[in-house]
Amino acid sequence: MNIFASIGRAVITVLAHIGRLAQFTGRALAAVVSPPIYTRLIFSQMIRIGYFSLPVVGLTAFFTGGVLALQIYLGGNRFGAESIVPQVVVLAVTRELGPVIAGLMIAGRVGAAIAAEIGTMKVTEQIDALTTLATNPIKYLVVPRIVAAVISMPILTAIGDSIGVMGGYAVSVYTLDFNGTTYLKNTIDFAHNDDITSGLIKAAVFGFIVALMGCYNGFNSKGGAQGVGNATTNAVVSSSILILAADYVLTALLFHK
C-alpha cells in the first residue's frame, strides 16, 4: 500500500464531505427564502423540537445551575469569595452553559430524531416519492426543521437560563445559607443585556447546526437499518462537535472589544 495514496484518499474523502455539506447548506438556505413556505409544517416542527424538549432542557439547566453554585461556593471559599456565587452563576449560565447545554440536549434528542426520520424516508424511497409528487424535498423536509430549530432554540435557552439561575438560587439558599432576596438582587444587578442576548444568538446558531446536520446525515444515509443507524450517530456526534467549536468562535466574535 502506497502511503501517499492512502493519505491522498483520506484527504479527498474529507474534502468531498465538506464540499457536499457546503452544497447542501447552500441549497437549504436558498430554499428558506424562496416560496412556497410551509407554515403548517414549521409550527408542527416547533412543537416537536421546542415544546417537547422543554422537560429535558429544564431539568439539565436546573442541575447545571445547582452544581455551578456549589462548585463556585467551594472554590470561592478558598480565598473568602463565597459571596460571588450569584454573579458567576448568572454569567456562566446566560453566556455559556444555558445555550451549550440546551444545544447538546437538542443534538441528542432532536438531531438524532431528524436524522433517523429522514434517513428512513431516504432508504424507503419516500424522498424520491416526494420528488415525483412535484414537491421539493429540501423545502418540504429541511426548511421547516431548520426554521423551527432556529426559532425554538433561543426560546428554549431563555427558559433554560431562568431555570438554571433558579437552580443556583435553590442550592445557594437552601443548602448554603444565602439570603434569597440578596441572591436575586445580586443576580439581576449583575447580569447585562449583552450576556443574555449573546447566549440567545448562540442558541439560534446551535439550533441551525443541529437541524442542518440531522437533515444532511439523513439525506445521505444509504443501505438499510444500519445506514440509518450510522446517520443518526453521525448527526449527533458532528453537531455536538460543531456546537462546541462554534461556541468558541461565537464567543470570540461577540465579546471582541
Amino acid at 202: K
For position 3 contacting another protein by CB under 8 A, the verdict is no
For position 189 contacting another protein by CB under 8 A, the verdict is no
Contact with another protein (CB under 8 A) among 135, 162, 230, 251? 135
Residue nearer to another protein on the CB measure, 36 or 180: 36
Instruction: Compute how many residues bind another protein; rule: CB under 8 A.
Output: 14
Residue nearer to another protein on the CB measure, 128 or 189: 128
Contact with another protein (CB under 8 A) among 18, 74, 81, 129? 129
Residues 6 or more apart from 238 whose CB is under 8 A from it?
213, 217
- C-alpha–C-alpha distance, residues 179 and 85, integer Å: 12
Residue window 140-179: x/- pattern of binding to another protein, with contact defined by CB under 8 A = x---------------------------------------
For position 134 contacting another protein by CB under 8 A, the verdict is yes
Compute CA distances 94 → 42, 89, 142, 192, 202, whole Å: 27, 8, 29, 10, 10
Q: How far is the CB of 126 from another protein (least distance, A)?
A: 5
For position 190 contacting another protein by CB under 8 A, the verdict is no
Q: How far is the CB of 248 from another protein (least distance, A)?
A: 37
178-210 burial, b if ≥16 CB within 10 A, otherwise e? beeeebbebbeeebeeebbebbbbbbbbbbbbb
Q: Which of 154, 160, 189, 144 is nearest to 43 (CA)?
A: 144
Residue nearer to another protein on the CB measure, 121 or 158: 121
For position 124 contacting another protein by CB under 8 A, the verdict is yes
Task: Name the phi and psi angles at 227, rounded to 5.
Answer: -60, -40
- C-alpha–C-alpha distance, residues 168 and 89, integer Å: 7
For position 126 contacting another protein by CB under 8 A, the verdict is yes
- C-alpha–C-alpha distance, residues 68 and 93, integer Å: 9
For position 42 contacting another protein by CB under 8 A, the verdict is no
Reduced to 3 states (helix: H, G, I; strand: E, B; else coil), residue 123 is: helix
Q: Which chain residues interact with another protein by CB under 8 A? A: 36, 121, 124-126, 128-129, 131-136, 140
